[in-house]
Amino acid sequence: MIVKLNDHASPAAKSAILETLARQDYSTRRVSLPFGDFIVGLGDGAGDTTALAALEGVAWARRGAERAVLAGIDASTSRTEVPLGRTSIGGAALAVIAGPCSVEDRDQISTCARFVAAYGATALRGGAFKPRSSPYAFQGLGHEALEMLAEAGKNTGLPVVTEVMEPGEVEPMAPLVDCFQIGARSMQNFPLLREVGRAGKPVLLKRGPSSTMKEFLLSAEYVLLEGNPHVILCERGIKTFETATRNTLDLNAVPVLKAQTHLPVVVDPSHGTGRRDAVIPMARAAVAAGADGLIVEVHPDPARALSDGDQSLTLAQFRTLVEEIRPVAEAVGRRVEATPVPNFGEPRSSGRRRGTGWGAGD
Amino acid sequence: MIVKLNDHASPAAKSAILETLARQDYSTRRVSLPFGDFIVGLGDGAGDTTALAALEGVAWARRGAERAVLAGIDASTSRTEVPLGRTSIGGAALAVIAGPCSVEDRDQISTCARFVAAYGATALRGGAFKPRSSPYAFQGLGHEALEMLAEAGKNTGLPVVTEVMEPGEVEPMAPLVDCFQIGARSMQNFPLLREVGRAGKPVLLKRGPSSTMKEFLLSAEYVLLEGNPHVILCERGIKTFETATRNTLDLNAVPVLKAQTHLPVVVDPSHGTGRRDAVIPMARAAVAAGADGLIVEVHPDPARALSDGDQSLTLAQFRTLVEEIRPVAEAVGRRVEATPVPNFGEPRSSGRRRGTGWGAGD
Amino acid sequence: MIVKLNDHASPAAKSAILETLARQDYSTRRVSLPFGDFIVGLGDGAGDTTALAALEGVAWARRGAERAVLAGIDASTSRTEVPLGRTSIGGAALAVIAGPCSVEDRDQISTCARFVAAYGATALRGGAFKPRSSPYAFQGLGHEALEMLAEAGKNTGLPVVTEVMEPGEVEPMAPLVDCFQIGARSMQNFPLLREVGRAGKPVLLKRGPSSTMKEFLLSAEYVLLEGNPHVILCERGIKTFETATRNTLDLNAVPVLKAQTHLPVVVDPSHGTGRRDAVIPMARAAVAAGADGLIVEVHPDPARALSDGDQSLTLAQFRTLVEEIRPVAEAVGRRVEATPVPNFGEPRSSGRRRGTGWGAGD
Amino acid sequence: MIVKLNDHASPAAKSAILETLARQDYSTRRVSLPFGDFIVGLGDGAGDTTALAALEGVAWARRGAERAVLAGIDASTSRTEVPLGRTSIGGAALAVIAGPCSVEDRDQISTCARFVAAYGATALRGGAFKPRSSPYAFQGLGHEALEMLAEAGKNTGLPVVTEVMEPGEVEPMAPLVDCFQIGARSMQNFPLLREVGRAGKPVLLKRGPSSTMKEFLLSAEYVLLEGNPHVILCERGIKTFETATRNTLDLNAVPVLKAQTHLPVVVDPSHGTGRRDAVIPMARAAVAAGADGLIVEVHPDPARALSDGDQSLTLAQFRTLVEEIRPVAEAVGRRVEATPVPNFGEPRSSGRRRGTGWGAGD
């Protein structure tokens, strides 16, 4: 049960609401968000909205078991913009979050960061803790990678986005992270959602591969319930029978979610296709569908990548991506902020040595 | 087994190829297409491509059981453009095929035709024979509808696209139809594919709701094997677990198919979403992804439609769609041909009477 | 709209019903089935069941657009048993329909028929017209195969089940066929469903790979509407993301369908798994779930089969299947009729020659 | 990389193996399991099995990134039996794990425990920490519930199975838990898998709703890699387009997994169907398919259940389930151990008061 308070609800009114919720068998919590103050009832209470709506200080009361109310389009009178670095996600400027699947070494991430910063990225992604289906596969370099990523972010002025996999890691990671990514496999890791909610930093929440949009929004609701409104929803493909692509990128989710929530929606065409040759067309499509941004995998030398090489763009391809989404963004009334650096130099494949990447002097 | 002939293969060379295929246990057929002459072997033959490739007059020989060879990107040196009315599908100009799900009466289809023609459609769609899950649902007006559709097409100069459901109907329908639609449920109706192949008219082939892209191309191959190269592939959504939309529009299919076939690919955002509010964004996305055109349902009064009302655009929304795809098309190097008629008048909801539609005098 | 008539509805009462339906904008049809006489209204009528239920001679009136009413559990007071050969499907005795995917030659089908007859089959399956994703794949031997199949059936006393792919083939095939199979790809081939409905012979209707149970029953309804009650529903696996099996056999469909329809439900563990090693366990599971029978692919020499070899049982494995389902059938109150012939001889692999199969003298 | 050691591999041989793995860029770990001693290489190493296989003391060396090797059928010469309470899972006796979705109060769980113990359960299930799609839904009573569950288990002699949702809870929960359940949403929660691996207790691992069987086995591999062989795989339904059931129970997984792993496989027909009326038929089917056991939801008063009421059996239905699976188990060479207590009394619906359940005096 979610009760929205009027702007000037008195302490007495709040007490009456809390008592009524308790009498209806709810445990209660106050939630303060930029778009309103709420008192929520958790658990299987009586669900009597009429009694609540009649109380002083109540703007409205809604049941929440079946839908995300705080994340719902009606909860806020304006769309939520999530501040990230010098820009925000959800406004007229498109977010372009780019970087390697995994941070592999200092050279790779700094090369990648400098390049994507120069050509239009608004944030840097890079995995330090990698969830992998096989325990034998490369699982990320951990805290060491986190420091490399933070350094690369600092040097380029880009905020960093990286995945957190367990509640106990949220606090230790927080000083080095600008935005926590919740991976697709963790979309319904509820203890983790609560913990990143409490941390207060922006959360990039990826849709689970078999999660409906409704479940997706309910997972966002877990974060909002902790008083953290800064959730970026990320469509990254769902699991279907099709095998020509790694996942089926469900761009329907862009207009449908935008109609249901005030939160920004970004798209990951890298995981959503799993094929380098489809990433740029689908990035254009995502922007045209109304997405608030993109998150793409870029690697100085995809053939040598320790993970997701097949779907990573080269540095040159990333530049092409930005060039190609700019006119599409304009066609739909958005803009790509970045001014590409014209003589930044050509990216080059790194040759045989793994992870060396595109050299600074080139 | 598919054998491509050299340009000047001699009769003797052709005989030798036919004999070799027969010796390999194939039944044979000659197929002449704009992009080459072929001799194909059908059935479970020996599959010895080396022996065939060594023959005089052979450009190449490939096995076909696992992939569509005639529809394959390598079979033709240029992309196939399918002529339809005054334009063609697959060139720089986007196809915009629009019209009601079903032809309901003369007024409805003529209203719709005039409007979509005025605002940018390049072809008129309308169902006369409707496959419906329930035998009790409206199944289309049949031949009567076909005549109304043809008349509306003639009056507006738009070629007409309509679904054919059974082999025996192809011949009787042909004089009134410019392009046969094979519906999603019929994608693997092989006798029907052969029959429309033989008819020689353009074929708009919809992807089956649980068909992989590979199966989709193999169905197109059935049509090409009859010597008919004019197949337009149509992505219209696949069946997934998601229930917020009627289908999951798989726009990944656009770049992936374009990489695998020379045939044009159009997108149906109406069936692909099932929600009127998602049709325009997904139409923009389809164009941005590289689609060669769109097929959309438009109805003068969707609330009164006898089928698919929830996903049909109003006439005014169709105009908005064309306005919104134009800059996106330009952003990706394509164009929307139509010059909207500025003072064509405003569409109006028809009020209560079913099928009256938007009045002629408006 | 479906109106069930009382047992002694007078001609005047029937006329009044027909008139009322016509006034509600339905086209009408009388349907006579073993479990009742019905007058149905087709198309998008007014849907006023109250007016109809009040008429003389009316047992009840129901809307049908959303659900299968004639196939529905409430339409009949008893479960439908479909007569086939000496037995029927839907009673205490389990149907065991066995045979090769395709009829490949006289030897293969007669070998197979004799063996499966001896070890417990109640009907013989075998494809003459094969729908194949690729036009280059073996498509069946056609009418020739049909004659071989009919002959093998006659020689063994087994009724024959074979697929029909197009409406125009129903009549020519009828004299040689005891039960028409509608393949999974044709489940929503509505002209074909109507045609086999009219033919009056039993119909084995396979569930489409992406069809819900509701759509499945609505397809059966098409057949019943033609006055043909003899529909056998066949669960054969649905298309999912899993790749370890060809399809995902949805045995949930057995209890769920049995709760919703009076028609018998059989299971095809061959297509439902695509793996020979899973066929017998899933056949046992199907029987335990309450299926009325099985349809399984059996081949004298699966390694040489022209189609579906990977999922075909050997003759010896078929014997094992029957041995293993017998106690399971008894555990759920059913029985396997067949008395295996103890000294029928061992099946033998045929060696290299394709299609020769297990020799007659063995 | 997984290296199986010979029985009497010398310390020198082991050192050489460790060095070779390190030279191939692996980090190494020794894993001791009942079926062998292993040295594994983690990460993206060179993958040179030939060099490893040639070393002294090596039985075999296999790459693991693509498949579960320790959980693989070839890793052990016998099937793994997981000890649980007085019995084990994976032997001739079927496991029957029963109990409510959530522990709701002392009365409910003790009633349920006594009843299911009397009628044939071999373990007691009950949720204390409940993952729920909505944050507003009942999330379990937590540690309090755990104590009630442990007490009910102790009083009836049944081992208890309960879900753990986060790594930090494994240690505190361990003293009260006999078997940790990893829920479907957590199947790829790798930190949690590692933690329950280290805890050493049996782990009931549920298949994720969109996980392939291969991914399922790789998740089990995470647990085995910690030296814990006691993993019970649980098929509980996958997410498909079908809406008549909550999930599609994929019984194909039973024979296919049994062919690929030595671990036991149990089935959850409650979540696998979501419909009370389908639970018993699908329980029979699971047993017939070769499952090593069942896990079913049972509630004294499903209509009053705080979660999953629609799919919970009543106490009387649980008794029926055990009665019905017994003959099926025997038909496939298994047995149901329990001797139902004949005069244990009839379960009764509890009437209106929530959670009171079936009274002690009955």
Contacts of D259 (CB under 8 A, 6+ apart): C277, C278, D73
- CA C200 to chain B, closest CA, distance in angstroms equals 18
Split at pLDDT 50, 70, 90, the class of D354 is very low
On chain B, the residues whose CB falls within 8 A of the CB of A324 are: 332
> Is residue B243 within 8 angstroms of chain D, CB to CB?
yes
Radius of gyration over every alpha carbon of chain D, rounded to an integer in angstroms? 21
Residue located via tokens 């469903």: C193
Q: Taking a C-beta distance cutoff of 8 angstroms, is the pair A5, A14 a contact?
A: yes
pLDDT tens-digit series, residues C32-66: 999 999 999 999 899 999 999 999 999 999 998 78
On chain D, the residues whose CB falls within 8 A of the CB of A167 are: 166-168
β-sheet with D36-42: strand ranges across: D27-33, D36-42, D2-5, D58-62
pLDDT at C340 over 60: no
Number of inter-chain CB pairs under 8 A, A vs C: 6
> Is residue C212 within 8 angstroms of chain D, CB to CB?
yes
Contacts of C43 (CB under 8 A, 6+ apart): B136, B137, B138, B139, C25, C26, C27
Cα C345 to the center of its chain, rounded Å? 31
Other C-beta atoms closer than 10 Å to the C-beta of D362 total 12
What is the chain A residue with the closest CA to D67?
A134
Split at pLDDT 50, 70, 90, the class of C354 is very low
CA atoms of D130 and A116, how far apart (whole Å): 42
Where is C97: in which H helix or E strand? strand C95-99
Radius of gyration over every alpha carbon of chain A, rounded to an integer in angstroms? 21
CA atoms of A349 and A302, how far apart (whole Å): 9
Split at pLDDT 50, 70, 90, the class of D66 is confident
pTM (two decimals): 0.93
Q: Which other chains touch chain B, taking contact as 3+ CB pairs less than 8 Å apart?
A: A, C, D
- Contact assignment for B332 to A332 by CB distance below 8 Å: no
Share of chain A above pLDDT 70, in %: 93
Q: Please report, as a single letter, which amino acid is at residue B194.
A: R
What is the chain A residue with the closest CA to C239?
A241
On chain A, the residues whose CB falls within 8 A of the CB of C239 are: 241
Q: Where are the beta strands (DSSP E) in A291-337?
A: 293-297
Q: Which domains does chain B have, with CATH numbers?
A: 2-66 (3.30.70), 82-331 (3.20.20.70)
CA atoms of B359 and A210, how far apart (whole Å): 47
On chain C, the residues whose CB falls within 8 A of the CB of D270 are: none
- Residue to mutate among C252, C325, C334, with most D CBs inside 10 A, is C252
3-state secondary structure B37-77: EEEEEECCCCCCHHHHHCCCCEEEEECCCCCCCCCEHHHCC
- Residue to mutate among B210, B251, B270, B325, with most A CBs inside 10 A, is B251
pLDDT at C248 over 80: yes
**Whole-number pLDDT of residue D340:** 55
Pick from A88-97, A333-342, C273-282, D99-108: least confident: A333-342
- CA A222 to chain D, closest CA, distance in angstroms equals 6
Largest pairwise CA distance in chain D: 72
Residue whose C-alpha is closest to residue C272's, from C295, C256, C288: C295
**Whole-number pLDDT of residue D360:** 25
What is the chain A residue with the closest CA to C247?
A241
In degrees and rounded to multiples of 5, residue D67 shows phi and psi of: -155, 160
In degrees and rounded to multiples of 5, residue D251 shows phi and psi of: -70, -20
Cα C171 to the center of its chain, rounded Å? 18
Which one of B138, B165, B219 has the shortest CB-CB distance to C191? Answer: B165
Half-sphere exposure of C41 (CA within 13 A, CB side): 24
- CA C278 to chain D, closest CA, distance in angstroms equals 6
- Residue to mutate among A38, A63, A136, A354, with most D CBs inside 10 A, is A136
> Is residue A241 within 8 angstroms of chain C, CB to CB?
yes
- Contact assignment for B251 to A328 by CB distance below 8 Å: no
CA atoms of A179 and C162, how far apart (whole Å): 61
**Whole-number pLDDT of residue B150:** 98
- Residue B293 sits at the vertex; the CA angle it makes with B288 and B297, to the nearest 5 degrees, is 110
Cα D218 to the center of its chain, rounded Å? 15
Share of chain B above pLDDT 90, in %: 88
SS3 A24: coil
pLDDT tens-digit series, residues A196-232: 999 999 999 999 999 999 999 999 999 999 999 999 9
SS3 D277: helix
What is the chain C residue with the closest CA to D272?
C252
Cα C100 to the center of its chain, rounded Å? 16
> Is residue B285 within 8 angstroms of chain A, CB to CB?
yes
Which residue stretches of chain A have pLDDT < 70? 338-362
> Is residue D139 within 8 angstroms of chain A, CB to CB?
yes
Q: What ipTM is given for this predicted complex?
A: 0.93
> Is residue C309 within 8 angstroms of chain D, CB to CB?
no
On chain B, the residues whose CB falls within 8 A of the CB of C198 are: none
Half-sphere exposure of A171 (CA within 13 A, CB side): 3
> Is residue A275 within 8 angstroms of chain B, CB to CB?
yes
On chain B, the residues whose CB falls within 8 A of the CB of D243 are: 243
On chain D, the residues whose CB falls within 8 A of the CB of A188 are: 131, 133, 185
Alpha helices by DSSP H, listed for chain D, are 11-23, 49-53, 106-119, 143-156, 167-173, 190-199, 213-224, 253-260, 269-273, 276-289, 315-331
- CA A69 to chain D, closest CA, distance in angstroms equals 10
Half-sphere exposure of B172 (CA within 13 A, CB side): 12
pLDDT tens-digit series, residues C4-43: 999 999 999 999 999 999 999 999 999 999 999 999 999 9
Sort B77 into a burial class: Cβ within 10 Å, 0-12 / 13-18 / 19+: exposed
Q: Taking a C-beta distance cutoff of 8 angstroms, is the pair C238, C207 a contact?
A: yes
Q: Which of residues 314-343 of B touch A (CB under 8 A)?
A: 324, 327-328, 330-332
- CA A280 to chain D, closest CA, distance in angstroms equals 27
pLDDT tens-digit series, residues B84-138: 998 899 999 999 999 999 999 999 999 999 999 999 999 999 999 999 999 999 9
β-pair type (D231-235, D265-267): parallel
Which residue stretches of chain B have pLDDT < 70? 338-362
